[in-house]
Amino acid sequence: MALTPLNELAVFVSVARHKSFTRAAKELGVSTSAVSQSVRLLEERVQQALFFRTTRNVSLTDAGQRLLERAAPGLESALNALEHLSADTTQLTGTLRLTVPSIALASIIEPVLPRFLRDNPHVHAEVRLSDRFVDIVEEGLDAGLRLIEAVEKDMVQVRLTPAFRFMVLASPSYLKRHGTPMHPEDLAKHDCIAYRAPTTSLPYHWELERGRKELRIQVKGRLATDHSEVMYRMAVAGVGLTYLAELQVAPALRAGTLVPVLEDWAPSVPGIFLYYPHRARASAPLRAFIALARKLLPTN
């Protein structure tokens, strides 16, 4: 059988990654019909159907799955070789598309993205701020930033921060008016700023631990929100107690506008991770962003 052209494999991998002919065409900068024709030619070459197609969904057949597992790593290596060969004579181009939670703004995006854009003047960036979990493949994004427990197992995971704690916090003015809780049970007597999951609107239980003892507390209060930045700003304003990552509120802790309470009950998490699909080839802008983040950010 004749060798399959590299461009047909590239189209196949893009369709498999996005599960969509339309999104693959957008990524590759060609028409949807051109993508369909390329896949059809590849299927004719291997004499097997590679995709199941319906009006709403595109999924891999068993043959398509086997081809993806075998071809994607080799294709990535070949394309990387071409990029490295031309790296000295070309400038990085393209668009970096990220989904970012509020928690990562001050700790990752602010120190890294401005430098990244200065170093790469021909690269554009699209940052979608959201505390909800985002399907980066479905929404055509390069990567996301999340706590490790929110990242699916089939994703490449790159640590970008050290471990940190989640803490109960309040402004000095709130504590002066209402007193300082000394035990988790005391939270029931306080006005707490509650977090509700963006997708379900269910209240988030504050997770506390000391030694081997773990507690999940459903707090009560007059204010609830689906955005941690609102919790942060309202806590500084003295509205109530809140529960946030020390990474996010570090400026307020340094300034003394927020102080931790129940600090011996503050649980630790492994850190914030950048993630992207195992089977997707990381774009050149994404690889450059990861390299710069690793250079600029402490991870230990």
CATH of the domain at 222: 3.40.190.290
| Cα–Cα dist 228/185, whole Å | 23
Radius of gyration for the alpha carbons in the chain, expressed in angstroms and rounded: 24
Write the CB contacts of 91 (distance below 8 Å, at least 6 apart in sequence): 120, 121, 122
C-alpha closest to that of 12 among 3, 23, 1, 24: 24
**284-296 vs 110-119: helix crossing angle, rounded to 10:** 130
Number of separate domains in the chain:
3
- Residue 179 is encoded by which pair of tokens? 């007193």
The token pair at 148 is 């490790």
Identify whether residues 135 and 284 lie together within a single domain: yes
| Domain of 220, in residue numbers | 164-269
- The whole-chain average pLDDT of the chain stands at 88
Q: Which of 66, 86, 106 is the last residue of a domain?
A: 86
Q: How far is CA 131 from CA 146, 156, 220, 258, 290, in A?
A: 9, 20, 21, 22, 21
Are residues 188 and 93 in contact, defined by beta-carbon separation less than 8 angstroms?
Answer: no
In the predicted structure, residue 280 carries a pLDDT above the cut 70: no
Indicate whether 191 belongs to any domain: yes
In a domain, 38, yes or no: yes
Out of 86, 103, 138, a domain closes at 86
Q: Residue 96 pLDDT more than 60?
A: yes
Residues 152 and 212 in one domain: no
Q: Judge if pTM exceeds 0.75.
A: no
Report d(CA 151, CA 158) in Å as an integer: 11
- Other Cβ atoms closer than 10 A to 164: 20
Task: Name 272's bridge partners.
Answer: 147
CATH number at residue 149: 3.40.190.10
Q: Is the pLDDT at 88 greater than 70, yes or no?
A: no
Least-confidence region, from 75-84, 163-172, 244-253: 75-84
Across 122-138, average pLDDT? 88
Task: List, for residues 205-236, the tens digit of each pLDDT value.
Answer: 999 999 999 999 999 999 999 889 999 999 99
SS3 at position 258: coil
pLDDT score of 298:
84
Name the residue with higher pLDDT: 49 or 201: 49
- Alpha-carbon distance 131 to 99, whole Å? 9
- For the ranges 58-67, 152-161, 187-196, 276-285, the lowest mean pLDDT is seen at 276-285
Q: CATH code at 58?
A: 1.10.10.10
For the chain, the first-to-last Cα distance in angstroms comes to: 51
Do 149 and 101 share a structural domain?
Answer: yes
pLDDT higher than 50, residue 1: no
H-run or E-run covering 119: helix 110-119
**Cα–Cα distance between 284 and 139 in angstroms, integer?**
19
C-alpha closest to that of 94 among 300, 282, 291:
282
